[in-house]
Copies of this chain bind each other. A is one copy, B any other.
Amino acid sequence: MQKYSEMSKEQLQALKKELDQQYAEIKAQGLALDMSRGKPSVDQLNISMDMMDVLSSSTDLRCETGVDCRNYGVMDGIPEAKRLLGEISEVDPEHIIIYGNSSLNVMFDTVSRSMTHGVMGNTPWCKLDKVKFLCPVPGYDRHFKITEFFGIEMINVPMSPEGPDMDIVEKLVSEDPAIKGIWCVPKYSNPQGYTYSEETVKRFANLKPAAPDFRIYWDNAYSVHHLYDDEKDQDFLLEILDECEKAGNPDMVYKFTSTSKISFPGSGIAALAASKANLDDIRKYITVQTIGHDKLNQLRHVKFFKDLEGVHAHMKKHAAILRPKFEMVEATLEKELGGLGIGEWTTPKGGYFISFESLDGCAKKIVAMAKEAGVVMTGAGATYPYGKDPKDSNIRIAPSFPPIEELEKAAQVFVVCVKLASVEKLLAE
């Protein structure tokens, strides 16, 4: 394979002609494929269908403490659901509050509450001149949308395979009291699929923030979402609440999780794990906000999964569907782009995304070309705050939703777009 950067202008022009031809042929196919969002596929949804049967008109709908799950009440969630989500989150049930169907909503509410009421007695953020969040990049667009929506200034922090650049995080957090939070997807990160190293987690737990109301927003969205069954092929993440406690910073973290990509997206249950002091602070808010979340759905989840072992067994079924998709995309990238020097990509062992780095200034073009050829990808820039990727190079590939035969076509379209955009860039230099 010859690197594109080492090609002569003539070679590049000849290549462009060939690629133009390929691209035109693809467009003529009139494809309509979607690699944009981390949505489970129909096959994945089907493996949870038995959940529809675990509660019936003849089921005893009381939880283990005898409370009727059909009626009002039980703010924190039923004990067996707290235990199950506690196991998934690797924390004691006493550190868990069960919410409704969306952990994103819990994160939104957490920021919203901090704006209007402050964190554990500190000044409400809406009364401050400036509030800032650190944003490891590339990251999750919906996180960035929340902080943007509340007018919070976002500061990019570069990611590495070990996690965010902790030198920068430590410096900024310890110096600037306006920094109130950092968005983290610590395991199988969105979009790179990186898992924070033990050292990174320990450095997080030992932060010395200038702001007493600084919190780590630890979105453990993919805690049990491995692609490989063998433990040696899985990433391991140190438990952050425990580490924060050990470091004398018990209140510094909010940990979010949900069953959205375990059972049914949109009909799962979400949970927050935090210190008792944080949870007590939050309870003052929830008590005013609602009379309680959907306990029948909590019961449904517990009856279906039973315990962590049940969850792991279920996740293996997800992995069996997802793994070939990831491997096919990665093989296509390797086969078509390997050695060309026009892109790099991650090969995660879990989660929902592959992150692709194009030549600088090509991401927007690649995504636009793919779209024109009938393949919708996550908008270029989406993985950065304000949608602004400074190098215009990061593209999030979401292989989960399309059936594998469609995904294969989409991957072929994608590599042609990458090649063409790269050639055009090099020709323009």
A294-B101 contact in complex given A42-B68, A266-B71, C-beta closer than 8 Å: yes
User: Of B40, B56, B61, B265, which one neighbours A53 at CB under 8 angstroms?
Assistant: B56
Tell me, rounded to whole Å, the shortest Cβ–Cβ distance linking A99 to chain B: 10
A73 and B115 alpha carbons, distance in the complex (Å) = 27
A293 and B266 alpha carbons, distance in the complex (Å) = 6
Interface-centre pick from A49, A104, A266, A288 (highest chain B CB count, 10 A): A266
| Interface flag for A130 (CB, 8 Å) | no
A69 and B142 alpha carbons, distance in the complex (Å) = 21
Assess whether B266 is in contact with A70, with CB atoms less than 8 Å apart: yes
Number of copies: 2
A124 and B112 alpha carbons, distance in the complex (Å) = 13
Assess whether B288 is in contact with A149, with CB atoms less than 8 Å apart: yes
User: Of B50, B52, B117, B293, which one neighbours A55 at CB under 8 angstroms?
Assistant: B52
| Interface flag for A2 (CB, 8 Å) | no
Assess whether B55 is in contact with A145, with CB atoms less than 8 Å apart: no
Tell me, rounded to whole Å, the shortest Cβ–Cβ distance linking A184 to chain B: 19
User: Of B73, B109, B126, which one neighbours A266 at CB under 8 angstroms?
Assistant: B73
Closest to A108 in B: B289
Assess whether B101 is in contact with A71, with CB atoms less than 8 Å apart: no
Closest to A59 in B: B52
| Interface flag for A116 (CB, 8 Å) | yes
A57-B68 contact in complex given A265-B291, A294-B294, C-beta closer than 8 Å: no
A37 and B71 alpha carbons, distance in the complex (Å) = 12
User: Of B71, B108, B145, which one neighbours A39 at CB under 8 angstroms?
Assistant: B71
| Interface flag for A150 (CB, 8 Å) | yes
Closest to A261 in B: B72
Tell me, rounded to whole Å, the shortest Cβ–Cβ distance linking A319 to chain B: 19
Give the contacts of A69-108 with B (CB-CB under 8 A).
Answer: 69-73, 100-102, 104-105, 108
Assess whether B294 is in contact with A267, with CB atoms less than 8 Å apart: yes
A39-B295 contact in complex given A108-B288, A290-B105, C-beta closer than 8 Å: no
Tell me, rounded to whole Å, the shortest Cβ–Cβ distance linking A126 to chain B: 4
User: Of B55, B150, B295, which one neighbours A116 at CB under 8 angstroms?
Assistant: B150
Q: Cβ of A149: which chain B residues have Cβ within 8 Å of it?
A: 117, 285, 288
Q: Can you name 18 A-B residue pairings with CB atoms under 8 Å? A: A39-B71, A48-B70, A52-B55, A53-B57, A70-B266, A71-B264, A71-B266, A72-B260, A100-B100, A105-B290, A115-B126, A116-B116, A124-B126, A145-B288, A146-B288, A265-B291, A266-B295, A266-B296
Q: Known pairs A52-B55, A104-B291, A267-B296. 13 more at Cβ < 8 A?
A: A50-B57, A52-B56, A52-B57, A53-B57, A70-B264, A70-B266, A71-B265, A72-B265, A102-B292, A105-B290, A117-B149, A149-B285, A294-B297
Query: Chain A interface (Cβ within 8 Å of chain B)?
Result: 37, 39-40, 42, 45, 48-50, 52-53, 55-57, 59, 61, 68-73, 100-102, 104-105, 108-109, 112, 115-117, 124, 126-127, 142, 145-146, 149-150, 260, 264-267, 285, 288-297
Q: Across the A-B interface, give the 3 residue pairs with the lowest CB-CB distance, nearest first.
A: A49-B57, A267-B296, A126-B126
